[in-house]
Structure 1
């Protein structure tokens, strides 16, 4: 039986890759961690981008596979594209939002995201370097503790419901609202404006891409070339495709010389993984601290944490900030419900009991035993955790420049 991700690729993504004449290879993952291993061990110089047909979890694997490489600093900005076929899809929605294509994405997310493969434009994105007591990780989406993290992880048992699992479990968790005691240390940040010339990078030629999709099939885990005679795009979608393609067609050009640096034998100088003291040392004196009991502490880099959760209206892909939301103990269930309902359209930002703080770095120190801390929706060790935002360190393919 072919899973949804495979069907999405074969029926919706492959036609666009074929029509745009983009040579590529396909990897169908058959187990957790396979994409991470591929990113950690493969010769990435043979590809010019990686396309992920899945949810945010597979992109998390790819980034952390790259981080585990000895030459991670040369590959951390390896261009990625995410075609939504998961239950979260926060990064795909954020890229569409940054490209001023969110309405089109909400109507047809797969087609809108797939246009990035044909347009071959790039934007810089922020990443965050994260330390727990046992490992070092990289994140691109969110860091959570409390209610939203609980909903994200505990709703896994309802994965068969797709994105609806979050709504169903949120209702259940409201009935047993928990609070968590601890400390939140943070380095305040300020928006300094978009770095226009650095964020708008046009690289018209996609020389060779690798496409990774999650699923289980007879091809499980092995690379397979694109078959001849690929299906064509349906007429109704081809009209939308043509309209958006004509909106901003990249001019013919040679490959950007900056791209060739990724496969150069010379390492990128001066790229440090961390800029602040480790967890066994106190935070710097210019960090602020909030101590108490919390219903949730949740920070995200881009605008969306899922296709229908607009957590940070106004956030940019490379503004250098982690946008924290803090709700302290003492709120009512009805107030928390208003917050959750407001996530769809950004109305939660007007609620007086929601503290919103833009930070360059944050350290969470839980004091309540038991709970979840999540990075990009994945569970990490429960305990002290520190995240440092690295502005514009990553690259994503996008269908339109902002």
Structure 2
């Protein structure tokens, strides 16, 4: 699947796929949600070796959530790899899986890649559910992404522009945060014994049910609660890179059943915030005392305000309370063969 601007790049790589004797079915997406519709209605989807998105990170997000609406969703998500050829300003999936932003290298690794299970993060918000493969953001990073859509012609530089616009007056977000880590509990969480109608089972789509309830359920004592009145950065994710240049979670793994969370207070100060920006590409910002990092199995965010920026995998979502839980190895992708260095 590809967007119009990447059709030419994909056509140029056709000889590579022909040489590998691959049958390629090319679909050009024409509107938001088109990719979700295509995979939702594809009767032969389980016959494909991979679903290749020539795009930014928005198209893999659409594909995964479109599959999730199928009756055989669980089987397809676990068995049909979703991969990305770089086509926009983010390209995080490609960088994390294929270690490159080169379209031709990524095309080669799509052919030679090794199957890799990956966790999916289930985001619940009101009566809606979304599967996230990359990250959830509120605050500074979300604004730098969502509020620079008009600057897409700058490529990845638009994120830096958004950051510099907010450097001297970073956004302030108040919220209540609750986190849960199953690896730190010595007994079964009572939360999973009594909350939600589809707990501990699979729903009609073959997807795992909610294991930790929803926003409508009260939190048990096994969750740790915190209040952050002046939150500046909140970023949660499961891959090291959240875009092609930002190694926000250097220790993240896509299949460990955990989501990494980073929090930075808005009172960090201009100089230290700039230092944070300079350190993120190399992933050594976690050493800063102002950066708070943890790994959890689930979390809940309840914003104090009703206005703000919240993104799921780079896509704008309603700014309201949300809860996230990890579903281990529910997804499938491809990674580079052993020995391949970053290119």
Deviation, 1:73, is: 1.6
Whether 1:314 aligns to 2:316 is no
Alignment of 1:237-316 (within 5 A): 271-293=207-229, 294-316=231-253
Q: Deviations over 1:18-72 (max 9, x none)?
A: 1211112110111111001111121113423211111110000001101122332
Alignment correspondent of 1:380: 317
Q: Helix, strand or coil: the match of 1:175? A: coil
RCO comparison, higher one (Cα < 8 Å, 6+): 1
Correspondence list, 1:298-377, <5 A: 298-377=235-314
Task: Say whether the 8 Å CA contact 2:95–2:244 is kept in structure 1.
Answer: yes
2:152 aligned partner: 159
Query: Is 1:168 matched up with 2:161?
Result: yes
- The CA distance in 1 between the partners of 2:204 and 2:309, in whole Å, is 36
- How far apart in 2 are the matches of 1:89 and 1:304? 9
Find the counterpart in structure 1 of residue 27 from structure 2.
27
How high is the TM-score relative to the length of structure 2? 0.87
What is aligned with 2:139?
Answer: 146
CA deviations 1:143-181 (Å, max 9, x no partner) are: 111110111100112111111111111100223311111
Contact 2:56 2:88 (C-alpha < 8 Å) held by counterparts: yes
Contact persistence 1:94–1:317 (CA under 8 A): no
Between the two proteins, the alignment pairs up a number of residues equal to: 316
Per the TM alignment, residue 81 of structure 1 is displaced from its structure 2 partner at its CA by 1.7
Deviation sequence 1:201-252 (CA, Å, 0-9, x none): xxxxxxxxxxxxxxxxxxxxxxxxxxxxxxxxxxxxxxxxxxxxxxxxxxxx
Tell me how far apart the structure 1 counterparts of residues 209 and 58 of structure 2 sit (CA, whole Å). 22
Please give the per-residue CA displacement for 1:303-325, whole angstroms capped at 9, x wherever unaligned: 11111111111222212111100
Determine which structure has more spread, i.e. the larger CA radius of gyration: 1
Instruction: Report matched runs for 1:38-187 at 5 Å.
Output: 38-43=38-43, 44-77=45-78, 78-96=80-98, 102=99, 105=100, 109-187=102-180
**Partner secondary structure for residue 267 of structure 2:** coil
Q: 1:116 to 1:290 in 2, by over 3 A?
A: same
Verify the 8 A CA contact 1:155 1:169 in the aligned structure 2: yes
Alpha carbons of structure 1 residues 5 and 186: separation in structure 2 relative to 1, 3 Å: same
Is the CA contact 2:69–2:205 (under 8 Å) kept in the aligned structure 1? no
Q: SS at 2:26's partner residue? A: strand
User: 5+ residue gaps in structure 1?
Assistant: 97-101, 192-266
Q: Is the 8 A contact 1:88 1:307 kept in 2?
A: yes
Number of the residue aligned with 1:195: none
TM-score, length basis structure 1: 0.74
How far apart in 1 are the matches of 2:52 and 2:204? 24
Greater CA deviation, 333-342 or 357-366? 333-342
Is the Cα–Cα contact under 8 Å of residues 55 and 87 in structure 2 kept in the other structure? yes
State how far apart, in whole Å, the 2-side matches of 1:370 and 1:269 are: 34
The structural deviation recorded for 1:399 is: 2.7
Moved over 4 A (4+): 267-271
Deviation string 1:370-395 (CA, Å, 9 cap, x unpaired) is 10111101111111111111111111
Q: Aligned with 1:277: secondary structure? A: coil
Unaligned 5+ runs, structure 2: 185-202
Kindly indicate whether the alpha-carbon contact (under 8 Å) linking 2:141 and 2:233 is maintained by their aligned counterparts in 1: yes
1:269 shift after superposition: 10
Give SS of 1:325's match.
Answer: strand
Q: Do the aligned partners of residues 269 and 25 (structure 1) sit closer, same or farther apart at CA in structure 2, a change above 3 Å counting?
A: closer
Distance 1:3 1:278, change over 3 A: closer
Instruction: Give distance in 1, aligned partners of 2:209 and 2:144.
Output: 31
RMSD: 2.1
Q: What displacement does 1:3 show?
A: 4.6
Partners of 2:326 and 2:46 lie apart in 1 by 27
